[in-house]
């Protein structure tokens, strides 16, 4: 390996193309029904967005990480840029975009379960042209991590570009949406939770592999995960912990998974490590604020 380069001879372990949000969080005794008003706690603002969460999770664990996306020119945009940089994420391709930053409105109940509404803001303006302009970034990546909080055309372009540049594509189909078979075929692995797996029409690992993914990880919260590839199916347990807030736990898992794949772990081994990181993340409030460092883990 060339001195100063990371996994697979690349400058970055993980490059994330995705969303960056400000998470506006209120804790409630119970989440409201239709037409109902409930009182909650003081509003707390955390850095978030599925893409930024995954980038921070990998960086906190010692990975060399870069981010491609768009942030707004409002106060939330300033906030998310500063927090990414503070965690050591390379933001050279985080494009400043006139207007509002992405925002997530989150309610959390006493059990730690949450409900989330996302206003995409600048995230909705990520384009195929942004990806093309960042081709050198993908060439420098061992693993490229993708989700669906930016436009699908940009996600497909990023997956295609990553594959062309020899990077491993990890795609988290979240939030669940219809995607082209080309994107599924580039996934190694496709990462879904049980609801997202059902959205694809078959919650069995073998069924998802039949859709064309090279490998699959199905996350199951406190029950761990199931991984599947050409070598078979493996159950991965999760440590038992007291849950405070599940926000971002799946992103912590995926970021950790990407990092360990970039560092050369097999899929099942990487998923076992990622399950520990995801379990650690639910023990604190917020998304990125709860993500562990390697020492804390």
Q: pLDDT tens across 170-200, in order?
A: 999 999 999 999 999 999 999 999 999 999 9
DSSP for 108-143, please give it: E-TTS-EEEEEE-GGGGG--HHHHHHTHHHHHTEEE
CB 189 within 8 A of CB 229: yes
DSSP string, 2-60: -TT-BGGGBSEEEEEES--EEEEEEEBSS---TT----B---EEEEE-HHHHHHHHHHH
Whether 267 and 275 have beta carbons less than 8 Å apart is answered as no
Residues whose CB falls within 8 Å of the CB of residue 136, separated by 6 or more in sequence, listed in order: none
Q: Is 149 annotated as a binding residue?
A: yes
Largest Cα separation within the chain, whole Å, is 60
User: What pLDDT, on a 0 to 100 scale, did the predictor assign at position 4?
Assistant: 42
Q: Which domains does the chain possess?
A: 9-20+51-99+121-290 (3.40.1190.20)
Please indicate if the annotation marks 122 as binding a ligand: no
Residue 223 is labelled as binding a ligand: yes
The answer to whether the annotation marks 250 as part of a ligand binding site is yes
Q: Would you state the pLDDT for residue 55? A: 98
- In this structure, the strands spanning 114-119 and 141-146 are unpaired
Of the candidate ranges 13-22, 119-128, 207-216, 242-251, the one whose mean pLDDT is the lowest? 242-251
Active site residues: 251
pLDDT at 2: 35
Percentage of the chain modeled with pLDDT above 70: 97
| Residue 216 to residue 141: CA distance in whole angstroms | 21
pLDDT for 7 equals 58
pLDDT at 125 over 60: yes
Q: Which pLDDT tens digit goes with each residue over 67-104?
A: 999 999 999 999 999 999 999 999 999 999 999 999 99
Annotated binding residue at 201?
no
More confident residue, 114 or 178: 178
280 versus 254: which is more confidently predicted?
A: 254
254 pLDDT more than 50: yes
**What integer pLDDT is reported at residue 27 of this predicted model?**
92
Q: 62: which 2 tokens? A: 């010692």
pTM here is 0.91
Q: What is the pLDDT of residue 8?
A: 59
């Amino acid at each position: 390996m060339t001195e100063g380069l990371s996994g697979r001879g690349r400058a970055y372990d993980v490059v994330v193309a995705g969303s960056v949000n400000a998470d506006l969080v209120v804790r409630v005794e119970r989440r409201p029904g239709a037409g109902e008003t409930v009182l909650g706690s003081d509003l707390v603002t955390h850095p978030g967005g599925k893409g930024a969460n995954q980038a921070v999770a990998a960086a906190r664990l010692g990975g060399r990480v870069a981010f491609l996306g768009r942030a707004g020119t409002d106060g939330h945009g300033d906030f998310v840029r500063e927090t990414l940089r503070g965690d050591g994420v390379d933001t050279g391709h985080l494009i400043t975009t006139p207007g509002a930053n992405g925002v997530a409105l989150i309610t959390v109940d006493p059990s730690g379960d949450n409900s989330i509404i996302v206003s995409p803001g600048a995230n909705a303006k990520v384009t195929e042209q942004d990806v093309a302009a960042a081709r050198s970034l993908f060439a420098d990546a061992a693993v490229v991590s993708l989700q669906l909080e930016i436009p699908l055309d940009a996600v497909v372009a990023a997956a295609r570009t990553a594959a062309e540049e020899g990077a491993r594509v990890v795609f988290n189909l979240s939030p669940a949406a219809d995607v082209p078979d080309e994107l599924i075929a580039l996934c190694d692995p496709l990462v879904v939770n049980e609801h997202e797996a059902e959205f694809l029409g078959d919650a069995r690992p073998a069924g998802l592999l039949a859709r064309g993914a090279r490998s699959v990880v199905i996350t199951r919260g406190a029950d761990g995960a199931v991984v599947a590839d050409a070598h078979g199916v493996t159950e991965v347990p999760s440590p038992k912990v007291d849950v405070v807030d599940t926000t971002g736990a799946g992103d912590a898992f995926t970021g950790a998974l990407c990092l360990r794949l970039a560092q050369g772990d097999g899929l099942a081994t990487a998923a076992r490590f990622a399950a520990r990181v995801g379990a650690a993340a639910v023990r604190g409030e917020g998304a990125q604020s709860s993500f562990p460092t390697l020492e804390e883990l």
